[in-house]
Amino acid sequence: MSVLLLACVLLPLIGFLLIFFSPDHEHRIAEISLWMTRIKGVAVLGLLVAWAAHGFANFEYQWLVLYQHDDYQFPLLFFLDRVGAAYLFVVWAVFSAIVKYCRVYLHREAGYKRFFQAIFGFAFGLNLIVLSGSIDMLFAGWEIVGISSFLLIAFYRHRPQPVRNALRAYTIYRFCDVGLLVGTWMSHLLFHESQHFSQLLTMFDPDNIPPAGYASLSILSWLIILAASGKSAQFPFSFWLPRAMEGPTPSSAIFYGALSIHLGVFLLLRTMPIWSYHYLPRLIVLSIGVLTVCVATLAEKTQSNIKGQVAYASIAQVGIMFVELALGLEGLVLLHFMGNAFLRCYQLLVSPSIVAHLLRVEGNVDSDFYIKNNEQLTFLPASIRNSLPDVLQNTLYVFALQEGQLELLVKKIFWEPLKNVGRQLNAVSLWVKILAGLAMLLIIAIAASGVSSVARIYLSMPISLAMAVVSLSAFSNKRSPFQVWHSVALSSILAGVAVWLMVPSAWSDVALFFSGIIPSWALGVLALSVLLRHYNFADEPFVFRAFAETRPGWSLMLFLSFLGLVGFPITPAFLGEDLLLSHASSQHPWFAAPITVSFVINGIAIARVYLRLCMGRPVELRGAV
Amino acid sequence: MSDTAQHTAFDLDLAIAHIAHWLPSQGPIKDFIHHNTLHAVQDYPFHDGVAVAAQVYGAKSYLPLADYLKRYNERRISDQALEWAIAQADCGVYQEESLRASLFEPDGHSHYPPQSLANHGIRSAWLNHLEIDLNGMVHPVMFRLLSNFLDQGISRWAMPKPDERFWDCVLRLVQNSLLPLYPFHQPVVRQMLDAGPDQVILNCLGKIVGDETLYGQYLLEVLLAHPGWSGMVRIIEIQPNVLLAPRAISLKELLAVELACELAFIDKKHGHTFLQIAQLPNLHEIPLLERDAINPKVPLKMRVWHEAMEWSLHSELLLALREQAPVEQIAEHAPNVQALFCIDDRECSLRRYLEDIDSGIETFGAPGFFGIDFLYQGLDDAYPVAQCPVVIKPKHLILESTDKPQPDKSDKGESLSTLHFGAHSMLRGWLYTQTLGLAYALRLGWSVLRPGGHLPGIQSLSEVEAHGHLHLLRESEELNEDGYLLGFSLTEMADRVGGLLRNIGLTKQFAPLIVVVAHGSSSVNNPHFAAYDCGACSGKPGAPNARAFAWMVNHPQVREILREHGIAIPAGTHFVPALHNTSRDEISYFDQQDLDKAARHELHRFQHSMQHALQRNARERCRWFELGPKSHENAEAHRHVVARASSIFEPRPELNHSNNLYCVVGRRNLTRHLFMDRRAFLQSYDPNSDHDGSILVKVLSAVIPVCGGINLEYLFSRIDNSVYGAGTKLPHNVIGLLGVANGVEGDLRTGLPSQMIEVHEPARLLMVVEQTTVIADQAIAMLGGWREWLDNEWIRLVACDPVSRELYLYSSKGWTVAELAAGRPLPVASCSEKIIVGQTRTIPVHELERRQG
């Protein structure tokens, strides 16, 4: 059984690697993908049968411990229960159908290999999430899904629109990942060694003493809900989902119709004992669900494009799932999830038929066709027209047209303040920056020369503040990719230094963190200097430079550096990030604030530079040598 | 600056009219009319026009050099053709020398397009200066407003009230709503909106540009930043009836809203004072479109390569026409069956097989509306559609009626099989997803694993069953409420039928059975379905035309009038309409109830031959499908094309016109024994019956726009698919039933998707007319506007002498003897199957050996 479980997780990864190293040859790739889905099917069905044979008992399996240091350990831990089984099955079914579909649908498409790589990467992340046994594992899968989603939205990189929307979706993902990152850390803090999902249930058994106080449990619940509503495009983050429909139709179907959008629901199902323990978080989930249903239903009415309409319909259904979750109807949610996933997937796949359907079939069979029936095609439905005054009708329409103002709301509350602070920071004169830098060095020197631990903690405060400040300045820097790269690296290094100041014994973990960050930074700077040798970036900061097409090798290097710097689970920095958090904040919870700010912002700043440089359509350079 | 001064110096309407001709002219997607993508520059000679357009739109002009070199190495470009092309280029001695030296030198940059002047002019320089990504902010807002305003039925709530103009509608939402319509609530914009669109444009231009000489340029750059929507608005402005649900909009209103939106965003970021375009420091260095793009620089080397490729391909046909064994005089007896096809290149191979199977069958070609221009509303149609080329404005409306009882239409509930077309967001959706959602797992599995199974209710279009009869004979002279005549009078019928028969030279020797074969194409999951149907019927299946034609010509009184006009159709001759489904290679016959026994027997034999021909045709088509069957079984090939046309994951139900290259206007004898690889539009025309070119000019004025339009649209969509074409269809999203866009908030995509054109060889159409140059000249002189395409060489015209088979090439300077550049002698083969075996690219024209007897 454990072998089957491992196979379920690892097969997509093997598929990804095989495709990555196979030549760019359509038939070969198609062969690999089809076989992988078949083998995967055997593994999934085998696992489910074995699990059923064991009487549907929850099953936990620890493969190995990846890292162990003092009381901290990072085990590769897997867990299968009813929820996981349902998700596992749907993921496999939809994934195999999509692979089969795409084998022909993407025939002769320029990015055949790229597409299947991303799809397999996505499947790997998904399986990791579904079968993860702890929040750490889940977070790793979460990040992988985020990045592959980002790559698939920007699949058609010649056009600025997909690239822009990829960044938009990534931004929301990143922001909501804070919930999970901090949640991971809090679960370390609260449950110590027992962050296994398998133990959550018993821990919250009404007979036992709750493992944490009301306040900290509430905060943890809120964080989880934040992460879930971001991924599932719930209030107030709904707007990113329709805009993410930029990739090939089947990829939209699998991501935003079927699977990715239900991950938030999965997270909530997994952590149900935590957030359903108190009533307030339940109430929050309920109200998020209700608000989403209202906004999405209205927004769907005024979507004049078919994919947007399906997207909002799907969001509304997930909203209903949130309501069901809040009411504790787990079984219903699972059923609802499966139905919605298949229906939306199918709807998106056949969405190009809508023209033929509406103009021909519906015109044929159903005299209800509304072009004929002008009554229905004029402004709002009669019931609203007759009962509301003009001004309210218009208001309702504007509300629906602007999709509940959610994007404006999120922009105003979250991004603009950050941008403004960053812009002001960048406007600060060079002298101030140099002085600040010297001050930092001085602080570090003082700390290194040996002062009391209390003093070190006070000294670490300005350092962590500086870390956030540096991140912010990277965020609003539009002119120099080098500066962005330096700032992000600097911000990460400052984070390490701050932790070292707080917990001197953690120097080895800090070193581990640096061993991921510093090479990534160096690689990035090298790639940048090669790519930008003949250009002055600041001349045209908004031009997409298409290096992924003209200089694919160095673009890949830049991408790897990007992944390394944002703590993607390919370098030790991913572990290091987790370690730093657990070290520092176990004693100094305030530290969570600056480090999460920089975590989010670094990722966005660096992704933006990457897109500007590598995406776009190459043009003949006039006057270039 | 006072308002009056602005008015005198800058004429807004004139400027908009001038800008409009740069916009693409593709209408809503329900009708697909092939046209010259670069109509804006067709008053230039071909290469100059292409170079101008390349600069303006930032598009490629030719294929990458490597493609030409590859073709040269495969000997599909001959050395003679290169010489010919160099001679045509008309360059100086030194230039020629350096050209020859560099001809085979690969270069690294010829496959990237130039920077678009429209997108890198004063506007983008200014935005760079302000550090604002204005397109990224303004376009989503504008596209949202436009698509919701123009929507034809996707969204549940419509944006405009009845008869409301775009401007008034936006104004209502801005001024009379409690929630602000973002970003029009900026005070600076809100205050000026009352002044009306004209004044808003001028105000905004005054604030943004500041220099009246640059106003036109700025507006042009604004509109060309989203050519798809601008073009759509323009089409709807000048032809409001292209929409089913009428919408009142104009470019001026679009510009007014868009400029207000731009000003609002800039004001939000930079306040009231910001740098105007007129104050840009390097203003004079920025290229201006109308000043700098119209002096095109044609890349000589690429031009030579492209012409060499075209002339090599063209020579393949010309060689065959000149060299093929002379045809013995046709036997005096009439053939057993005659079949009238559309000129469409997809019928080229079917006709070849049909004649090969039964030498008693004679085929003709004519534009697939068969000379009957009308609006048609079938029994099941919600609205009438034009069934004729777009250049003709039909005046007659034909309705279909039936005697059979209709299924009860009162049941308005949704049928389960089409449930997924509604979005269902709230309660009903909850119910459906809970209960039926899982059924879609099965449905998804079924459609992915078993394509070709019948998907209920989607592909019913071109297989429409003819269950009623057409109301063709006009009963009253009254116009209906839309101003159309209901039906035709007998004289009108005789005129149309006689005109067509005369055009194709079928005025005597009628066979007892004449089948009129229209064509359509069925596909699923394909928003561009209209582009697959008959181009001469404005992208509809041609069945109604075939039925109308057959009904008219079978009518005794019509035949009486025809006899008076010199066309005597024997009483024993019957016309039967049919519809060829080009994607599934199936045929259905209509209206056979009046046939007598002999004709019925003939029809039976014909059906048998046709069935066989369709299977062989399917196999010939399969050689293009990389994932198709590789065996030599006709039946397997046929099963494959049927499955292909009805699987939801197949983006290429058929490859359409992607082989089009030639158009032959002449007798069938000229091409009957040639294998032309489905590349030729074949129009029948009898040179002997036309002494003054009056028939030829009629033929050409239908053939040139239809075939030339198809050819040029394919050509440019292939040359630069992301600018002139619609890009790959995989991410397309249907917007408001108007068109497709990438993603939810992209610009509308015009042109053809890459799946339709990827195997096309982008060469201009070679039109061969079987006529003497003298009579051809007379016809060309009467041709009117379409002559532009011939004179500027957007189409190549060759006259083939009916007697001597001498070939003359047309240019605006006169006729010259065509020097053929075929690198090898005319290949000969015994049958089509021998030629196509193992071939996956285009095949040169072959001569087919004739059978004895």
Q: Measured between beta carbons, which residues in chain B are less than 8 angstroms from residue A402?
A: 179, 181-182
**Lowest mean pLDDT across A15-19, A403-407, A555-559, B263-267:** A403-407
Mutate to test the interface with A, among B127, B152, B155 (most CBs of A within 10 A): B155
pLDDT over threshold 70, residue A192: no
> Comparing C-alpha atoms, which of B346, B347, B379 is closest to residue B363?
B347
pLDDT (0 to 100) of residue A574: 82
Per-residue pLDDT tens for A67-108?
Answer: 776 666 778 889 998 899 999 999 999 999 899 889 889 888
Residue of B nearest to A248 (CA): B731
- Contact (Cβ atoms closer than 8 angstroms) between residue B529 and residue B651: no
Nearby residues of A318 by Cβ (< 8 Å), 6 or more positions away: A232, A233, A234, A261, A262, A264, A265, A292, A340
**Given B425, B526, B527, which is nearest A296 (Cβ)?**
B425
pLDDT over threshold 50, residue A363: no
pLDDT over threshold 70, residue B1: no
Average pLDDT value over all residues in chain B? 86
pLDDT (0 to 100) of residue B708: 94
For chain A, the first-to-last Cα distance in angstroms comes to: 62
- Contact (Cβ atoms closer than 8 angstroms) between residue B588 and residue B579: yes
B346 or A425: which carries more pLDDT confidence? B346
**Lowest mean pLDDT across A153-157, B549-553, B616-620:** A153-157
Per-residue pLDDT tens for B840-853?
Answer: 889 999 999 886 54
B423 or A65: which carries more pLDDT confidence? A65
8 Å CB contact of A104 and B649 = yes
Nearby residues of B700 by Cβ (< 8 Å), 6 or more positions away: B665, B769, B779, B780, B783, B786
Under the banding of pLDDT at 50, 70 and 90, the label for residue B225 is very high
Rounded to two decimals, the ipTM of the complex is 0.90
Mean pLDDT value across residues B482-511: 91
pLDDT (0 to 100) of residue B450: 60
pLDDT over threshold 50, residue B462: no
pLDDT over threshold 80, residue B832: yes
Q: Measured between beta carbons, which residues in chain B are less than 8 angstroms from residue A309?
A: 154-155, 423
Helix (H, G, I), strand (E, B) or coil at B551: helix
Question: What is the least distance, in Å, from the CA of A580 to any CA of chain B?
Answer: 38
pLDDT over threshold 60, residue B283: yes
- Each domain of chain B, given as residue ranges in start order, spans 3-27+118-292, 31-109+300-329+657-721+758-853, 342-402+427-645
**Given A317, A359, A372, which is nearest B429 (Cβ)?**
A317
Per-residue CA distances from B103 to A253, B26, B86, B108, B110 (Å) = 48, 37, 10, 14, 13
pLDDT over threshold 50, residue B396: yes
Q: Measured between beta carbons, which residues in chain B are less than 8 angstroms from residue A250?
A: 649, 730
pLDDT over threshold 90, residue A292: yes
B448 or A217: which carries more pLDDT confidence? A217
- Cβ neighbours around B332 below 10 Å, total: 6
Residue A564 φ then ψ, to 5°: -60, -45
The one-letter amino acid code at B606 reads F
Binding residues of B: 342, 344, 519, 534
8 Å CB contact of A249 and B730 = yes
Under the banding of pLDDT at 50, 70 and 90, the label for residue A360 is low
Mean pLDDT value across residues B27-31: 85
B573 token code pair: 């001759």
Mean pLDDT value across residues B677-701: 93
pLDDT over threshold 70, residue A576: yes
pLDDT (0 to 100) of residue B108: 66
B407 or B562: which carries more pLDDT confidence? B562
Q: Measured between beta carbons, which residues in chain A are less than 8 angstroms from residue B650?
A: 104-105
8 Å CB contact of A105 and B650 = yes
**Lowest mean pLDDT across A88-97, B38-47, B525-534:** B525-534
The single-letter DSSP state of residue B623 is T
Q: Measured between beta carbons, which residues in chain A are less than 8 angstroms from residue B112?
A: 618-620
Mean pLDDT value across residues A4-22: 91
**Given A336, A379, A618, which is nearest B157 (Cβ)?**
A379
Q: Chain B within 8 Å of A545 (Cβ-Cβ)?
A: no
**Given B58, B383, B448, which is nearest A101 (Cβ)?**
B448
Give per-residue burial for A600-612: e unless 16+ CB within 10 Å, then b: bbbbbbbbbbbbb
> Comparing C-alpha atoms, which of B399, B398, B393, B345 is closest to residue B368?
B345
8 Å CB contact of A246 and B731 = yes
Q: Chain B within 8 Å of A480 (Cβ-Cβ)?
A: no
- What region does A423 belong to: left with phi over 0, alpha with psi -120 to 50, or beta? alpha
> Comparing C-alpha atoms, which of B416, B10, B502, B62 is closest to residue B210?
B10
Question: Dihedral (C-alpha) B274, B277, B283, B287: value to the nearest 10 degrees?
Answer: 140
Residue B807 φ then ψ, to 5°: -115, 130
pLDDT over threshold 80, residue B326: no
Mutate to test the interface with A, among B61, B177, B181 (most CBs of A within 10 A): B177
8 Å CB contact of B421 and A354 = yes
Chain center to CA of B450: 32
Per-residue pLDDT tens for A522-537?
Answer: 999 999 999 888 877 7
pLDDT over threshold 50, residue B829: yes
- Each domain of chain A, given as residue ranges in start order, spans 2-355, 428-614
pLDDT (0 to 100) of residue A389: 83
B122 token code pair: 């004063």
pLDDT over threshold 60, residue B460: no
Question: What whole-number distance in Å separates Cα of residue A212 and Cα of residue A310?
Answer: 41
Chain center to CA of B566: 37
Q: Chain B within 8 Å of A332 (Cβ-Cβ)?
A: yes
Mean pLDDT value across residues B10-36: 89
pLDDT over threshold 70, residue B350: yes
A507 token code pair: 């120097």
8 Å CB contact of A105 and B29 = no
Under the banding of pLDDT at 50, 70 and 90, the label for residue B686 is very high
Question: What is the least distance, in Å, from the CA of B56 to any CA of chain A?
Answer: 13
Residue with tokens 């139709």: A249
8 Å CB contact of B415 and A365 = yes
Q: Measured between beta carbons, which residues in chain A are less than 8 angstroms from residue B649?
A: 100-102, 104-105, 250, 349
Question: What whole-number distance in Å separates Cα of residue A343 and Cα of residue B578?
Answer: 39
**Lowest mean pLDDT across B163-177, B475-489, B789-803, B832-846:** B475-489
**Lowest mean pLDDT across A10-24, A182-196, A600-614:** A182-196
% of chain B at pLDDT higher than 70: 90
